[in-house]
Structure 1
Amino acid sequence: MKRILVERELTNEGPRRSGDARGKRRTVTVNLAESPLAWLHARGHLDDRLFDAGEALRNDYERAQLAPGVTMRWDPVRAKTTGERGLTPTERQVAAKQRFDGAIRHAGKGLEDILWRVVCAGEALPTAEKALGWPARSGKLVLRIALERVAEFYRIR
């Protein structure tokens, strides 16, 4: 896993970004390359099955190219090949989109928001809880329920 380590000062609200001119306090080292899902997994809040389910969902999200992009694509033109299972790149993208939509649908109404925010958008759990208007520390439980359903969809044991 890639590591981008930076020092952040601790405040009552959490780590402070460098350049903030307030008084000195304790500092922590933060890995900017670590996803919220990987953070939860590394600290024992998610088991391997739920982590793998989240990674499968994020992988399909990225393969389906659902993230916002620029208006111009600068990808190099590739020669036509028979990639995985003989599908064209467009067919692989459509298949990933269908898997992503199926996993989100299988998770159920009300759980797609936390899945998208934490797994796909890489939003921190406290930030997602605040944006959704949930009580503090409730997101971890809801995320676990959502990831259980996603693991069922992807048949991860």
Structure 2
Amino acid sequence: MKRELIERELTEVGPKRRGSPRGRRRTVTVNLGESPLTWLHARGHLDDRQFDAGERLRADYERAQLSPQVTMRWDPVRVDCGAGGGGNDGMTPSECQLSAKDRFDGAMAEAGAGLKDILWRVACGCEALAEAEKGLGWPSRSGKLVLKLALDRVADFYCIR
């Protein structure tokens, strides 16, 4: 799977230090263009197989146009069917969208009922792992293990070795 280069948009963020007489801030530099999966992979928390599975799932989610829309879109739909960039294989844009939705649904079913919640939040919803754990009411640092199990199952579904 060809990885796209992500444009780096760096910014300094951080909480104000409590008890500091001058109100100094402690900041860190973060890349706003970096997805949670990319962040985990870059720091060695996900192997290449798991990362590729998560990116393939996110690509199918976007090709199927499953994200919520604010209003009616009048622009023509441009969908690239091929997961490997091989073109549309003679399919119409609607068929490409349906094919991506079938793959997405199959991958989520393969992940399983207890694992797909965090998988969707991190891979498709682009939530940070800590935010996903908090949103699901899970204890801190429990999500990484569950996410890795889900990504292993999705990699099996997509036949990623």
Q: Per the shorter chain, which TM-score range?
A: 0.7 to 0.9
Whichever structure has more strand as a proportion of its residues is 1
Q: Gapped runs of 5+ residues in structure 2?
A: 1-5, 79-86
How far is 1:10 from its partner? 4.2
Q: Gapped runs of 5+ residues in structure 1?
A: 13-21
**1:10·1:28 contact (CA, 8 Å) conserved in 2?**
no
Partner in structure 2 of residue 148 of structure 1 = 152
Partner in structure 1 of residue 133 of structure 2 = 129
Correspondence 1:99 to 2:103: yes
How far is 1:89 from its partner? 0.2
Partner in structure 2 of residue 62 of structure 1 = 62
Partner in structure 2 of residue 51 of structure 1 = 51
TM-score (norm 1): 0.86
Moved over 3 A (4+): none
**1:36·1:122 contact (CA, 8 Å) conserved in 2?**
yes
Which residue type is aligned with residue 90 of structure 1? S
**1:107·1:146 contact (CA, 8 Å) conserved in 2?**
yes
**2:64·2:97 contact (CA, 8 Å) conserved in 1?**
yes
**1:85 and 1:74, CA in 2 relative to 1: closer, same or farther beyond 3 A?**
same
User: SS state of the match for residue 84, structure 1?
Assistant: coil
**CA distance in structure 1 between the aligned counterparts of 2:160 and 2:16, rounded to whole angstroms:** 40
Percentage of matched positions with identical amino acids: 71
Partner in structure 1 of residue 83 of structure 2 = none
